[in-house]
Amino acid sequence: MHSSEGVVFQQVHHLYTVLTCPLVELHNGGAALRTNTFENGSRFACSLFDFKNGSQDEYRKVMEVQDSIFSGITMTAATPLLACGHIRRIEDLNNTYEMIKFAISPSTQSNLGSALSATPLRSVMTGANITECDGPLNGGIFFFLQCAEATFTDVTVIQCTNVVSGLVFTPDEVTHISVIKSTFWSCTTTRDTPHGSALFINHSATLSVSLATFTNNTASNCGGAIYVSARCQWVNITSSSFLNNQAPYGGAIGVGGKPTAAEGGWVIQQCQFANVGRSGTDVYFDDMSALGLTERAFAGCVSRSKSPRVFDFKSRTGYDWTNRQ
Report domain extents, the chain.
81-93+106-323
- Amino acid 139: pLDDT: 44
| Residues near 148 by beta carbon (within 8 Å), at least 6 away in sequence | 120, 121, 122, 174, 175, 176
Report residue 256: phi and psi, to 5°.
-95, 155
pLDDT, tens digit, for every residue of 69-81? 888 877 777 666 7
- Amino acid 127: pLDDT: 92
| Residues near 5 by beta carbon (within 8 Å), at least 6 away in sequence | 29, 30, 31, 32, 62, 64
Strand partners of residue 44: 19, 75
Q: What letter does residue 261 receive in the DSSP assignment?
A: P
**Listed residue (3, 8, 50, 48) closest to 26, CA to CA:** 50
- Amino acid 5: pLDDT: 46
**Listed residue (160, 144, 251) closest to 207, CA to CA:** 144
> What average pLDDT does this structure show over 85-99?
79
pLDDT bracket for residue 245 (50, 70, 90):
very high
Q: What percent of the chain has pLDDT over 70?
A: 65
**Listed residue (146, 143, 155) closest to 209, CA to CA:** 155
Residue of higher predicted confidence among 301 and 12: 301
In this structure, of 238-252, 255-269, 270-284, 298-312, the range with the lowest mean pLDDT score is 255-269
DSSP-based three-state secondary structure for 103: coil
Mean pLDDT taken over the chain: 77
DSSP 281-306: SSEEES--TTTT--GGGGTT-EE-SP
Report residue 47: phi and psi, to 5°.
-85, 150
Report residue 11: phi and psi, to 5°.
55, 50
Q: Which residue type occupies 22? A: P
Residue of higher predicted confidence among 135 and 109: 135
Residue of higher predicted confidence among 125 and 270: 270
Residue of higher predicted confidence among 68 and 1: 68
- Amino acid 65: pLDDT: 81
d(CA 324, CA 61): 47
Report residue 116: phi and psi, to 5°.
-150, 135
- Amino acid 226: pLDDT: 92
pLDDT bracket for residue 89 (50, 70, 90):
confident
pLDDT bracket for residue 4 (50, 70, 90):
very low
Other C-beta atoms closer than 10 Å to the C-beta of 55 total: 8
| Residues near 137 by beta carbon (within 8 Å), at least 6 away in sequence | 106, 109, 110, 111, 162, 163, 164
Q: Which residue type occupies 145? A: L
**Listed residue (38, 86, 45, 28) closest to 65, CA to CA:** 38
Of the spans 10-24, 111-125, 161-175, which averages the highest pLDDT?
111-125
- Amino acid 100: pLDDT: 78
